[in-house]
Structures are given as structure tokens and as C-alpha cells.
Structure 1
Amino acid sequence: MLQRAIVAFTVGPVLLLAAYLGGWFYFIPLLLLLLVAGVEYAHIMRALKHNTPLWLLLPAIVALLAAAWWPYAWGPQWNLGGLALFISLFAALIYALWLFERGDTLDAALDWFALVGGIMLLGWVGSHFFLLRSLPENGWRWTTVAFMSIWTADMAAFLVGKYLTGRWPLGRHALAPRLSPKKTVEGYVAGVIAGPVFATLTALVLDLPLVLAGLAGLAVGVLGLFGDLSISLLKREAGVKDSGRLFPGHGGALDRLDSLIWAVAIVYYLVVYLGPLFT
């Protein structure tokens, strides 16, 4: 618990400060985190007997993140993000065909899908860290809302699951016992409540539309869990407890980004599509 608290109250403020500063201060830390997560993802795939070469995966992640970070990359003239995604997926296809033709594996199709999964998760979904931050109005503020929503939802779920499970009638209902035995229905409900509450409080401080922030926090609280469980699925099938050891008490970079990476994408699309209704 102490290790978790130290990491949370160190890494969290650093990322919030980076989101506020923007530019290289934001790009470099998240790029490094996502690259470490890419290495951890490849190790998990290796444990599952899938070929996921870092020399393909990591450059694809860098290309997609850089395209999203450059403010004009997604414009109609260039669309560098679309180009980076196309080249990355096509390179993954060629690699799978080459593997099969060489006879190095009998699961070339699964190797292809594993590589594409890493590119899409850490490259394309991960690019929303920068798409959200690059919004022309209030980008860093909405990024802060996304961070606070998922962190408070996760913390509420953890505290309820840790201190109520097995002690009171509450906290005894397992949510997904095969994927994550320690998660409880009560913890999930606590996260769903905490997400919109703290998103609204954050919006109040940052002078953002409260209703939209509340909806964003609710969506993150409800849906963020599935990002967490998706990495749990990979780890369970691979037979590993944590994706890595980067953060003591928390696991690896992939463990810390599993729900956050989806939270920023959720908030991005809500702000883009619903934001005009609240201005």
C-alpha cells in the first residue's frame, strides 16, 4: 500500500504538470512510457508463443504518436496519422507473410494479429494522449479531467475492494474472478461514482462545462475497467502477474496505462462530438 501511494503521488503530479506544460515536456514522458509498455507487450506475446518484433512494433508506435503530437498532422492536406497507421499495418502484414513463407512458424496469422494489436493499442489508441492535449480549446484542461477521472475511479475501486472485501457484507461479490480475482462489484460501483464526482470537481476548478465533464467522468468510470481487464486477460493467458516492474507496487508501464489509455480516448471523442452542445 505504501509503495502504491508513493508511486501514485509521484507519477500522477508529474503527468499533470507535463499535461499543463505541453510540448516536449508532455510528449517525451508519454512516449517513453508507451515504448516501455510496447516492450512489455512484446514480452507477454512472447510468453504466448507469438512473434512480435520490437524492430517493427516500437517504430510504429513512435510514428503514430509523433503524428498525433504534431498539431497539423491530421489535417486534410497531410493526414500523417493515417499514413503512419497504413504503413505500420502493411509492414505487419508483410512480416507475417514472410514468417509463413520461411516456415518459421505455423501461427503466422496469429503473429500478425498480435503485432497489429500492439500497434493499434499503444500506437493508435495511445495517440489520443496527444490528440486530446492538442485540442485548440482547453486541451490541457480536458486531459486533466481524463487523468483525474480514471485515477479516482481506480483508487475508489481499489480502496473499497481492499478494505471491505471479506469484512463486511459489502465487498464480497467478485466482479471478474478469472480475469482479476481481487476486483469486486462494490469496488466497480465505487469507481463509477467517484469518476463523475471528481471529474465535475476538476471541471469546476478549471472552468469547464460541468455537465460534459460529469458525462466524461461517468463514461470513464463505467468503461475504463474494461481496459484494465483486457491487459489482465493477456497476463492470465501468458501466466504472468505483472507486465513489468517499472512501478513498485503497481507493476509495469502497461499495467499503469491499461485503463488510462482508453480514458483519454473516451474523453477526446466526448469533447469533440458533444462539446459544441455545451458552448
Structure 2
Amino acid sequence: MTRVAFLGLGHMGLPMAVNLVKAGHEVHGFDLVPAAINAATAAGIPIASSGADAVAEADVVITMFPAGRHVIAAYQDELLAAAKPGTLFIESSTIAVDEARTAHELAIAAGHRNVDAPVSGGVVGAENGTLAFMVGGSDADFAAALPLLEAMGKRIVHCGGPGLGQAAKVCNNMVLAISQIAVAEAFVLGERLGLEHQALFDVVSQASGQCWAITTNCPVPGPVPTSPANRDYQPGFAGALMAKDLGLALQAIEGTGTDAKMGRLAQELYAAFAAGEGGHRDFSGIITDIRDAD
């Protein structure tokens, strides 16, 4: 049994923490949001009085925060100083590659270990323990983190050194955003040509256009009963989060001088979607903006 401090008990973090408990680990949590604390308490997760208190006796610290600035501030302000020497920090927020590397350097300088391990799979994946983890860090630290990640996820990939888990995440989500837009545009075009949604789904889902954005996250009601489109685009993965991740992709595109025209366009479209009603809707709901574009 490993004692884990889990900081960030929101829609993703709480079910991840619950799955660690189910796997036999001792989990102590902390969050700044009262509603998250109440939900965690109801789920049986003991809540510490502060982040420093949560990590003081932990073997492993897992953070799931909104942005990189929160991670770095928490590391610098209290977590690294409060943790026992050699504590393994697993950083599962989605943050910029350079922020992940800064967090890694801070942890190492303070006498700890660190991996970046962002996730893919959304709230459903977190609840079902089927998340994908993309991990950056040393071989030894990856091996130490692996049993915990396996309690929360189904596919865990060691992507390389520090920051490369975040690199894989930003590339994956750029692909996902572009494909979700393409699928949405195809359904809108099909509607205007007179195609039934089910007919188009039956073709594309078994043809060369097949992708996750249609077989799992189909943006129209009907063909995939579990898709957010059948729940009035209740996330799932919210448009605001996709816009945030594409902002990180844009940083990487510009920082590397990559000619990524589709990535830039996807970032523009999701920024506009999130600025409207799409911020709290599933990112597949961008089909509503595409329908209204004309």
C-alpha cells in the first residue's frame, strides 16, 4: 500500500483518487474549492487542512491543477518543502512542455523525483479507470509511478524524458481537435445534401474516415448513444478545456517554428467556440457553430 496525496479533486481528479483507494492505496486529498472538498468527503477521501499537510507523510504526490502556473506556484510555495525527501511527484495536469520541465527541475532541486503524466479519456475514462497516461521522466521514476497509473488507467506510455509526456498530450489533442472539426463539417455537409445521420455514420465509421471523433464522440444525436450529443453536449471534455489545450499547442507550434496550418485554424475555431456558449459544453458541440456559420 502506498500513501498518496492527491491535490485537485475536480471532475477528473476525484474519480482518479477513488480508483486509487479501490486499488488498496491510502489517499489523502486537498482542493481549494469547497464543492470539490464536499464531493471528496462524500466519496470517502480524507481531506487535509492544506496542501502542505496532505503531502507531509505521502510517498507519492499527484497533482491535477487547471494550469501550469498553479503547478509551479504550489511546488514553490509549499509542496516541495513540506514533502519527505525523495517523494515522487506525478504531475497529471495538462500544462506547457516548458512548464513541465520547470516543475521537474524544481522537484529535483528540492531532493524529490518527478514525472509528467497528463491524461486522455475524459471524465468517463477517469470514472472507469480506463485513462491513457502519457509519461515523461526517467526510466526509474516511470517504473515507480507505473503501479499507481495502472490503478487509474488502461494504457500507459513512457514517452521519454521530462516534458515529453506533455509533448505527446499536446500533439494528441491537436489531432483530436482537427478530426472533431472535420467530422462536424462532414455531418453538416451531409445534412445539406440530404443524408441521414445514421447513413453517413454507417459509411464513415467503417471506411477510411473512421476516427474516435465519429465512433465515440459522434457530434450528432443517434448513431452513438453514449456520445455527448445525446446529452445536449454535456461534457465529456469541455470546449474551454480543448481551447486551453490548443493554446498550449499554439505555444509549441510557435516555439518550434512548425508550419501547422490546421493546428492554428483549430485553435482559432475552438477559442471562438469557448468564448461563446461552448465553454461549458462538450467540445463536439462545435458542430452547432459550424451549422450557424453561414
Scaled by the length of structure 1, what TM-score is found? Answer: 0.32
Give the number of the structure whose residues are more often helix, by fraction: 1
Highest relative contact order (Cα 8 Å, sep 6+), 1 or 2?
Answer: 1
Scaled by the length of structure 2, what TM-score is found? Answer: 0.30
